[in-house]
Chain A
Amino acid sequence: MNWSALIIAVIQVVFFVLLAPLLIGVMRQVRAKLEGRVGAGIWQPWRDLRKLLVKDPVRAEDSSWLQRAAPVTLLVSSLLLCVLFPLVGAMTVTLIPGDLFVVVSVLLIGVVALALVGLDSGTAFGGMGSSRHMMVAALVEPTLLLAVYALSIPTNSSTLAIIVETRLETPAVILSPVSMLAMVALIIAIMAETGRLPVDNPSTHLEVTMLHEAMLLESSGRDLAWLELGSSLKLAALLGLVANLLVPWGIATTSSALAVIIGLVAIAVKVLLLGGLLAAGEVFLAKVRLFRVPELVAGSFALSFLAVTASYLIA
């Protein structure tokens, strides 16, 4: 039993629970400043979360136990992602390595939980959000799997922690064309999966333009708090993964206290920087038409497929 890896995993989860609302706050603040506003401050999402926990949730009498259980499922799946991803440390816990299919499946549990919340709301908007969200998820899954597969070929292992460790040891791999193609495909897939522009506008109020927000319209109180926290944790974890794949320096490969502290600081800086860049990019983007999203996702699929075949033919 790899106790040090287990402790690092626990530290990762706790740290990311604190970091995720902060990430959303930083992203909103960057957008606000670029739009000329003052903004609510980087701690506002934490205030929102605290307020949601003290409100009484309202549930319709036609809804089922899913309204209570599915938000918790989404949150647990996002927390599990923080355990499996190599964020602070690149060490695998015995018996639960962050294998590519396992990780994608855990991600999809959260996706399914959210879709079921949307369907259970019993309104037209909930079903609409659920349908669009599942369509995008179905089309994004091949890209995610193939992109991680392409990244795993040079290391001969599909465990994410080992992939990151190999990239740390031989930095030349990061700049190889295969890796660049796979990273671009992965970034597009992650933007589609987490509902950022240009796939979905997270701050829209027009229901007909919503993909992910429409599923949340019926939830209130702590249900909404878990859904929001679960979504922001997913975004933070995925951005952390991308950051560690692109710039692996700083990640802890030993279990000394100094390495862990450096790992914490490094991942915080990387995630917040990447989030800020994403928010700055979003200011200049508009949401694309729903039926252009499959074209975008198909393009990223083509890139990741190219990456995989190229890695066999070149290397």
Chain B
Amino acid sequence: MTAVTAGLAAQLVLALLSSVLTFSVPARARSRVSGISCALISTAGAATGALALAGGRGSLTIPLALPVDPLTLSPDRLGGLFMLVASAVGILVSVYGISYAHGPSASRTSWAALAFFLVGMQLVPAAADAMSFLLMWEVMALASTALLLADHAHGRQVSSATVWYSAMSQLSFLLLLGGFTVLSAAAESTSFSAMRAVSSQSPTASIVFVILILGFGSKAGLVPLHVWLPRAHPEAPSHISAAMSAAMVKMGVYGALLVCIRLLPDGPAWWGVLLLILGGISAMYGILQAAVASDVKKLLAYSTTENVGLIFLGLGASMLLRSYDATAAADVAIIAALFLVVSHAAFKAPLFLGAGSILHATGERNLDRLGGLGRRMPWTGAAFGIASLGAAALPITSGFVAEWMLLQGLIHGARVDGELVSLPVSIAMPLAVAVIALTAGLALLTFVKAYGIAFLARPRSPAAASAHEVPALMRIAPLIGAVAILALGLLPGPVAVALASAIGPEAVMNVRTIGLAGVGLPSIGALLDPVGLLIAAALVAIPVLTIIVVTSKRHPQRVAKLVWGGGGERNNPRMQYTATSYAEPLLRVFDDVLQPSRDVQVTHVDESRYLVQRIKVEQRVSDRVETGLYRPVLSFADRIGVLARRLQNGSIHRYLGYSFAALLVVLVAVSL
């Protein structure tokens, strides 16, 4: 009984205990008790994950009453890493949920579902064979569907979002089932270690790869299978959105890594190209949609698509480079992809939790009606601000280190020792760098908009003006996330070494801790020391601050009542830029991709056509993938369904005829 085994068992036991407690304690104490027990589940998960990442081994086998193999849980280092990431997010979500859960999201169903969601999500990376994996995957998916339905009484959007979510979720499950079935048949075993024996160059492997990547990509939120993300994440209760966006999509990424590193390593080059293309398109489309979104949760959901796209870009680049033997750069690229995973979890959780705090304080999700929240909610503003910096990949945050590493891998990947690697790589790498640069720039705009419009200047609506700071537990959770972002950003060396160990022992040789906890990449000759950069910035700031201190004593500031808006009479806060107007130049530049629809209705005064009584302007940016791909497919399926109804016209003669025809067919088939 090793520590890892004990941890795995503890998570299962705690989940059962948590649901029992949820149903038995009185309603007043339910949130507190359930929240603490869910936090304990995640703590156990974090401990187990950390031990597994550090090299601990353990295995838990539970026989099931179903005619399948027993449930086998045995996390390796990569599984341990993802368990740790998911659990860390789970702790924050549970703690936040204690204060946030209200009404339907504080019901017994929701809290019990959260316990199962957390344990399912944490144990997916621990699965050692296909059946256990799929079982835990379904537990996670079903529990999240139940959680999503919490607010369904509020409006039709919630039920519609849940329908989309469960349909896409089951689609991904079917794809995974299909893929694993083919792979198990080829390997003649369902255990992952046996599947390694299947040759990655065979056509079976390619079919399995495509099916599994589509299945995992759907869960991760890759275009074109991402349509559930911008619908489901905004409608879920905020702490559930945080768990889904920061942790659940990582399970899709884990699946893709499982396929690419553990099950079918060293595949042909076109696998990497496929992932590069999918990742690049997701990244660009995601951030474009996020940049023009005015609903803060929809913005964050599309930002998840962008980050997942970048992760797959790194993964694809790594596979492509490895197939051309540029192993140093390939290792750096995959370590960068893992760093992106950890960094994204670190900043997406506080962003969604912060959005939840805003919703709690103002009742508004629409950025156009917020403003001035920085003075009214300083702690939430600080956490959201630091998380926005991380999302925009600015220095001393984790996002910066991750993108730096990815760029270094890509730049040095195209040339090994001054020699050109290959032609496809020479075209793919610059394109990838261009995609990353473009998404980084747009992410900057998106998060300046999100933070600036919500927290700065003056409130644009009475709801925002009457906002107040949220309770302590709702403040602490995002702040812990913000501290994590800064810690990962300032101490990247040890983190990168730990991530490299999750890939394999050869990868560890490419990363080193240098200087003041900075990260060095000796195999490609690059280094980054954020603490050094911070010290340099502090040193150059000292003279500036001295001058400020001296001059502010002699020339103190004067506080004016009004901002300078031309001195006119109309100075009300509604004249400020809103989120929609902030993104409007960008919308115009990219209108071919986004295709906004604008509708202007002018109502004239009855007496005269020259006078206008009212003008209504409506602008809508819909998801083009949904309108261009899904709706035609759905209407086609609808039409097929209508046609098929003709078979059932109610005539008993026809039904008897069908039975007779079927009997004939069977007799003929049996005699052949």
Q: Do B557 and A57 touch (CB < 8 A)?
A: yes
Interface centre among A57, A93, A112, A122, by most chain B C-beta atoms within 10 angstroms, is A122
Q: When chains A and B are docked, how far (Å) is the Cα of A64 from the Cα of B393?
A: 24
Minimum CB–CB distance from A233 to chain B (whole Å) comes to: 11
* B-binding segment of A27-35, A248-256, A274-282, A304-312: A304-312
Q: Do B563 and A218 touch (CB < 8 A)?
A: yes
The reply to whether the CB of A102 lies closer than 8 angstroms to some CB of chain B is yes
Q: Do A138 and B444 touch (CB < 8 A)?
A: yes
Residue from the list B448, B527, B563, B585 in contact with A121, Cβ < 8 A = B563
Minimum CB–CB distance from B276 to chain A (whole Å) comes to: 16
What is the interface of chain B mostly: helix, strand, loop, or mixed? helix
The reply to whether the CB of B96 lies closer than 8 angstroms to some CB of chain A is no
Minimum CB–CB distance from B298 to chain A (whole Å) comes to: 19
| Minimum CB distance partner of A304 in chain B | B434
**92-113 of chain A: CB within 8 A of chain B:** 93-97, 99-102, 105-106, 108-109, 111-112
Residue from the list B411, B412, B457, B557 in contact with A221, Cβ < 8 A = B557
Q: When chains A and B are docked, how far (Å) is the Cα of A7 from the Cα of B576?
A: 47
Minimum CB–CB distance from A205 to chain B (whole Å) comes to: 13
Which residues on B sit within 8 Å (CB–CB) of A83? 536, 540
Q: A60-B562, A112-B392, A146-B433 are in contact. Are A141 and B577 (CB under 8 A)?
A: no
Which residues on B sit within 8 Å (CB–CB) of A222? 547-548, 551-552, 555
What is the interface of chain A mostly: helix, strand, loop, or mixed? helix
Interface centre among A141, A157, A226, by most chain B C-beta atoms within 10 angstroms, is A141
Q: When chains A and B are docked, how far (Å) is the Cα of A83 from the Cα of B540?
A: 9
Q: Do A119 and B430 touch (CB < 8 A)?
A: no
**15-61 of chain A: CB within 8 A of chain B:** 53-61
The reply to whether the CB of B559 lies closer than 8 angstroms to some CB of chain A is yes
Q: When chains A and B are docked, how far (Å) is the Cα of A124 from the Cα of B575?
A: 6
* B-binding segment of A74-82, A175-183, A194-202, A238-246: A74-82
Minimum CB–CB distance from A15 to chain B (whole Å) comes to: 13
Q: When chains A and B are docked, how far (Å) is the Cα of A94 from the Cα of B515?
A: 9
Residue from the list A102, A112, A141, A221 in contact with B438, Cβ < 8 A = A141
**212-230 of chain A: CB within 8 A of chain B:** 217-218, 221-222, 226
Interface centre among B403, B414, B434, B559, by most chain A C-beta atoms within 10 angstroms, is B434
Q: Do A102 and B395 touch (CB < 8 A)?
A: yes
Q: When chains A and B are docked, how far (Å) is the Cα of A75 from the Cα of B255?
A: 45
The reply to whether the CB of B560 lies closer than 8 angstroms to some CB of chain A is yes
A-contact 0/1 string along B491-522, CB 8 Å cutoff: 00000000000000000000000111010000
Residue from the list B411, B558, B565, B589 in contact with A56, Cβ < 8 A = B558
Which residues on B sit within 8 Å (CB–CB) of A96? 529, 532-533, 536
Q: When chains A and B are docked, how far (Å) is the Cα of A308 from the Cα of B561?
A: 53
Q: Do B585 and A115 touch (CB < 8 A)?
A: no
Q: Do A102 and B528 touch (CB < 8 A)?
A: yes
Q: Do B533 and A102 touch (CB < 8 A)?
A: yes
Minimum CB–CB distance from B418 to chain A (whole Å) comes to: 6
Interface centre among B407, B430, B575, by most chain A C-beta atoms within 10 angstroms, is B430
The reply to whether the CB of A134 lies closer than 8 angstroms to some CB of chain B is yes
Which residues on B sit within 8 Å (CB–CB) of A125? 565
Q: How many residues of A contact B (CB 8 A)?
A: 82
Q: A76-B541, A95-B529, A112-B444 are in contact. Are A61 and B560 (CB under 8 A)?
A: yes
| Minimum CB distance partner of B395 in chain A | A105
Minimum CB–CB distance from A138 to chain B (whole Å) comes to: 4
Minimum CB–CB distance from B132 to chain A (whole Å) comes to: 41
The reply to whether the CB of B324 lies closer than 8 angstroms to some CB of chain A is no
The reply to whether the CB of A72 lies closer than 8 angstroms to some CB of chain B is yes
Residue from the list A77, A131, A152, A153 in contact with B585, Cβ < 8 A = A131
**244-297 of chain B: CB within 8 A of chain A:** none
The reply to whether the CB of A127 lies closer than 8 angstroms to some CB of chain B is yes
Q: Do A56 and B556 touch (CB < 8 A)?
A: yes
Q: Do A127 and B374 touch (CB < 8 A)?
A: no
Residue from the list B393, B536, B552, B564 in contact with A218, Cβ < 8 A = B564
The reply to whether the CB of A4 lies closer than 8 angstroms to some CB of chain B is no
Q: When chains A and B are docked, how far (Å) is the Cα of A256 from the Cα of B562?
A: 56
The reply to whether the CB of A232 lies closer than 8 angstroms to some CB of chain B is no
Q: A120-B456, A312-B420 are in contact. Are A109 and B441 (CB under 8 A)?
A: no
Interface centre among A60, A106, A137, A301, by most chain B C-beta atoms within 10 angstroms, is A60
Residue from the list B441, B518, B588 in contact with A137, Cβ < 8 A = B441
The reply to whether the CB of B426 lies closer than 8 angstroms to some CB of chain A is yes
Q: When chains A and B are docked, how far (Å) is the Cα of A122 from the Cα of B564?
A: 9
Residue from the list B414, B426, B585 in contact with A290, Cβ < 8 A = B585
Q: When chains A and B are docked, how far (Å) is the Cα of A124 from the Cα of B565?
A: 8
Q: A120-B457, A124-B565 are in contact. Are A76 and B558 (CB under 8 A)?
A: no
The reply to whether the CB of B408 lies closer than 8 angstroms to some CB of chain A is yes
The reply to whether the CB of A158 lies closer than 8 angstroms to some CB of chain B is yes
Q: Do B395 and A76 touch (CB < 8 A)?
A: no
Q: Do A116 and B452 touch (CB < 8 A)?
A: yes
Minimum CB–CB distance from B336 to chain A (whole Å) comes to: 12
Q: Do A56 and B557 touch (CB < 8 A)?
A: yes
A-B contact count (CB 8 A): 240
Q: Do A62 and B458 touch (CB < 8 A)?
A: yes
Q: How many residues of B contact A (CB 8 A)?
A: 84
Which residues on B sit within 8 Å (CB–CB) of A121? 457, 563
Q: When chains A and B are docked, how far (Å) is the Cα of A141 from the Cα of B393?
A: 13
Q: When chains A and B are docked, how far (Å) is the Cα of A313 from the Cα of B532?
A: 37
| Minimum CB distance partner of B397 in chain A | A105
Which residues on A sit within 8 Å (CB–CB) of B527? 95, 97
The reply to whether the CB of B65 lies closer than 8 angstroms to some CB of chain A is no
| Minimum CB distance partner of A77 in chain B | B537
Q: When chains A and B are docked, how far (Å) is the Cα of A73 from the Cα of B456?
A: 17
Q: When chains A and B are docked, how far (Å) is the Cα of A64 from the Cα of B381?
A: 12
Q: Do B433 and A53 touch (CB < 8 A)?
A: no
Q: When chains A and B are docked, how far (Å) is the Cα of A119 from the Cα of B455?
A: 10
| Minimum CB distance partner of B436 in chain A | A145
Interface centre among B412, B445, B518, B556, by most chain A C-beta atoms within 10 angstroms, is B445
Residue from the list A95, A142, A152, A290 in contact with B437, Cβ < 8 A = A142
Q: A95-B515, A131-B585 are in contact. Are A312 and B563 (CB under 8 A)?
A: no
The reply to whether the CB of B544 lies closer than 8 angstroms to some CB of chain A is yes
| Minimum CB distance partner of B407 in chain A | A101
The reply to whether the CB of B545 lies closer than 8 angstroms to some CB of chain A is yes
A-contact 0/1 string along B541-585, CB 8 Å cutoff: 100110110011011111111111100000001011100011111
The reply to whether the CB of B663 lies closer than 8 angstroms to some CB of chain A is no
Q: Do A139 and B441 touch (CB < 8 A)?
A: yes
The reply to whether the CB of B427 lies closer than 8 angstroms to some CB of chain A is yes
Q: Do A72 and B564 touch (CB < 8 A)?
A: no
Which residues on A sit within 8 Å (CB–CB) of B445? 134-135, 137-138
B-contact 0/1 string along A137-180, CB 8 Å cutoff: 11111101110010011001110000000000000000000000
Q: Do A309 and B395 touch (CB < 8 A)?
A: no
Q: Do B555 and A221 touch (CB < 8 A)?
A: yes
| Minimum CB distance partner of B561 in chain A | A61
Could you show 17 A-B contacts with beta carbons less than 8 Å apart? A53-B555, A57-B558, A101-B403, A101-B404, A105-B400, A116-B452, A116-B456, A119-B577, A127-B457, A141-B437, A141-B441, A142-B441, A145-B434, A146-B430, A218-B564, A290-B585, A291-B589
* Interface, chain B (partner A; CB < 8 A): 372, 374-375, 392-395, 400, 403-404, 407-408, 411-412, 414-415, 418, 420, 423, 426-427, 430, 433-434, 437-438, 440-442, 444-445, 448-449, 451-453, 456-458, 514-516, 518, 525-529, 532-533, 536-537, 540-541, 544-545, 547-548, 551-552, 554-565, 573, 575-577, 581-586, 588-589
Besides A137-B444, A222-B547, 6 other A-B contacts (C-beta < 8 A): A94-B515, A97-B527, A115-B448, A122-B458, A127-B582, A291-B589
* Interface, chain A (partner B; CB < 8 A): 13, 53-64, 66, 72, 75-77, 79-80, 83, 93-97, 99-102, 105-106, 108-109, 111-112, 115-116, 119-128, 130-132, 134-135, 137-142, 144-146, 149, 152-153, 156-158, 217-218, 221-222, 226, 290-291, 294, 301, 305, 308-309, 312-313
Q: Which 9 pairs, one residue from A and one from B, show the smallest C-beta to C-beta distance?
A: A127-B577, A138-B441, A141-B441, A122-B457, A119-B452, A142-B437, A312-B426, A95-B532, A79-B540
